[in-house]
Amino acid sequence: MAPYSMQTLILFAYLISLVSVYSASSAVHSAGTPLDLSAFFNAKAASTGLNDSFADFDGSGRAYPVEYLPAGPSFVYEGINFALPPFHETSKFDTVRTDSQVISVPNDSESITHFQSFHALATAIWPASGSSGYQQGTLTFTFTDGTHETAGFVVGPWWSTNPFDGPITTPFHYANATLDSGHTTDYNVTSISYVSVRIPNAKALQSVTLPLDSTYINFFSVTLLPALTSAGPSQTADVQLSVQNVRSTTKWIGGADGSSADKVQQIEVTLNNLAPLNASSSSWLTATYNVSLVSDDIETVVPGIVKRLRSNDQVVVPVGVRNRVGVKSGTTAKVQVVLSSTGENQAGRDVKLEDANDWDVVAGIPEWTNGDASLRTHEAPEWGVYSVPAWAPTGQQYAEWYNWDFHNRE
């Protein structure tokens, strides 16, 4: 291999994952504790029309058309329950322009104190002189013992001329004629993105500090997913995993030989180990399990495999399924997630899966049709653009070994 030097490639795969949206949300499953943002709303995202001068999402008077925004009160995405802001109350602010706001976690005696992950509906904006693009932000988690941890995240632009999507989209937005070549309406698809960030769950969380104002990110809703504690869900098995989400995709597994006969639909199962970060390794999954979906409408052809999942961590497992005979593509199927032991590295541990039943998925991949609604469900395949970090001083080492050396210190 060529001795490339000074290559530091960015994690495009992560950006791609932010663009995917095809999801059958289930009314039954929605987890998490929404935080009350009402004291922090400081701008109006939803506009009633061209003459609505109160709406000013980005500081340049641009805004979303309210008639395309969901009315709520709640919105479920990736298995997470979000409280929607008052989009439809025309004289109330409905978005938080980030400016290092400190959002306290409820701390009365009934409240849950330990959390696994932070989830938000949010989007990147940019200054009047800037142009459409992603933003990177940093969250600061402050714990009741006075310690802090920071975590970075990336959030998609609220609109872009490139194909872009989000859990909530509108077909246009109101524009600023001065900045937008005389247009008062811009017909680029406009959206609200989803952000997910892990929280170290061993310590009680006191507050979350949003990013600096200079990062240009607007938040609509924030939900925290509780970890296993006395106040939250409790541990009932040696190893206790829980299903956060089961999501249908338009991706195929198999068919590598070019024939479509052995291609099966990919469904993604998101599993959490909600045990404390510092819990003993007996609470980690260290054995090999198959992940299958059981349903009247679909059958599992290629089980997912999970070999390891430590506490305070998450894994997304792809499972290959096929519609049963007579089940039409596009049917909503109710599925149950089942873990089955392959007998490897068991160590006699009792493994339990919570929230495994009654997930709705779209069975089968409907024929593609000419139009946005269909094309928008397309996702980058598993082999999509990705990269690894690489770097070496010129002439001294091969850059390709950077990642190996990084993880294998001698």
Ligand X SMILES: *[C@@H]1O[C@H](CO)[C@@H](O)[C@H](O)[C@H]1NC(C)=O
161 binds ligand X (CB under 6 A): yes
11 binds ligand X (CB under 6 A): no
Q: How far is the CB of 102 from ligand X (least distance, A)?
A: 8
Alpha helices in 134-246 (DSSP H): none
The interface region with ligand X, picked from 181-189, 227-235, 376-384, 395-403 by CB under 6 A, is 181-189
Tell me how far apart the alpha carbons of residues 362 and 356 are, in angstroms, rounded to a whole number.
17
User: How big is the chain, counted in residues?
Assistant: 410
Q: How far is the CB of 205 from ligand X (least distance, A)?
A: 11
Instruction: Name which position in 14, 187, 368, 386 contacts ligand X (CB under 6 A).
Output: 187
Tell me how far apart the alpha carbons of residues 354 and 359 are, in angstroms, rounded to a whole number.
12
In degrees and rounded to multiples of 5, residue 56 shows phi and psi of -155, 90
Q: Which residues, numbered 20-49, are part of the site for ligand X (CB under 6 A)?
A: 49
* Residue with smaller CB distance to ligand X, 161 or 403: 161
Instruction: Name which position in 149, 186, 354, 360 contacts ligand X (CB under 6 A).
Output: 186
Tell me how far apart the alpha carbons of residues 42 and 93 are, in angstroms, rounded to a whole number.
6
* Residue with smaller CB distance to ligand X, 60 or 215: 60
Q: How far is the CB of 216 from ligand X (least distance, A)?
A: 15
Instruction: Name which position in 100, 162, 278, 345 contacts ligand X (CB under 6 A).
Output: 278
H/E run at residue 360: strand 359-363
Alpha helices in 41-198 (DSSP H): none
Residue nearest to ligand X (CB): 61
Instruction: Name which position in 128, 212, 237, 375 contacts ligand X (CB under 6 A).
Output: 128
Tell me how far apart the alpha carbons of residues 244 and 237 are, in angstroms, rounded to a whole number.
18
Tell me how far apart the alpha carbons of residues 77 and 240 are, in angstroms, rounded to a whole number.
23
Which residues lie below 8 Å from residue 382, measured CB to CB, with a gap of 6+?
251, 266, 318
* Residue with smaller CB distance to ligand X, 202 or 390: 202
Give the contact letters, 57-76, x = binds to ligand X (CB under 6 A), - = no. Answer: ---xx---------------
- Residue 385 identity (one-letter amino acid): V
340 binds ligand X (CB under 6 A): yes
Beta strand pairing status for 264-273 and 313-323? Answer: antiparallel
Cis peptide before 73 (omega within 30 of 0): yes
Q: For residue 88, what are its two tokens? A: 């439809």
Q: For residue 167, what are its two tokens? A: 């859990």
| Range 143-153 burial, b when 16+ CB lie within 10 A, else e | beeeeeeebeb
Q: How far is the CB of 353 from ligand X (least distance, A)?
A: 14
Q: Which residues, numbered 203-232, are part of the site for ligand X (CB under 6 A)?
A: 203
* Residue with smaller CB distance to ligand X, 125 or 195: 125
Q: How far is the CB of 63 from ligand X (least distance, A)?
A: 9
Instruction: Name which position in 8, 74, 100, 104 contacts ligand X (CB under 6 A).
Output: 104
Strands (E), 144-183: 148-155, 168-170, 173-174
# residues near ligand X by CB under 6 A: 26
- Binding site residues, ligand X, CB under 6 A: 49-51, 56, 60-61, 104, 107, 128, 161, 176, 178-180, 186-188, 202-203, 276, 278-279, 290, 303, 340, 342
